[in-house]
Amino acid sequence: MKNGRTQWTKTELEIYILLLCANADKVEREAEIDLIRSKVDQDVFDKVYRDFSEETQENCLEKIRENIANHQYSHRELERLRKEMNAIFFADEKYRPMEQNLEKILNNMLY
């Protein structure tokens, strides 16, 4: 990782995860980004997006793994996050193999 350990709030972590979902097929579509932006104020989005855009997918997953351990997620919160992830995956009405693979990886980390 470029900047060492990153500590995020739950909201920032969730936005980071959703950005990774939007980028799973290496193409961030406007509908995906707009959906993510609608969940948080612009300053938080910009901060998280800057962090996200500087990393490889491998480093993103490592940051997510580290930050998940810092937060206690309830079953309801995980279900909500999973629905949001699926909304991003299906924002373009296609569910590509790279998105399917990332969903499996994230589900293993979250559950």
Dig out the tokens for 34 from the structure: 């707009």
Phi and psi at residue 73, to the nearest 5°: -100, 135
**Residue 104 contacts by C-beta under 8 Å, 6 or more apart in sequence?**
none
Q: Is residue 1 over pLDDT 50?
A: no
Full-prediction pTM beyond 0.95?
no
Reported as a single tens digit per residue, the pLDDT across 40-86 is: 999 999 999 999 999 999 999 999 999 998 898 999 999 999 999 99
In this structure, what DSSP letter does residue 36 have?
H
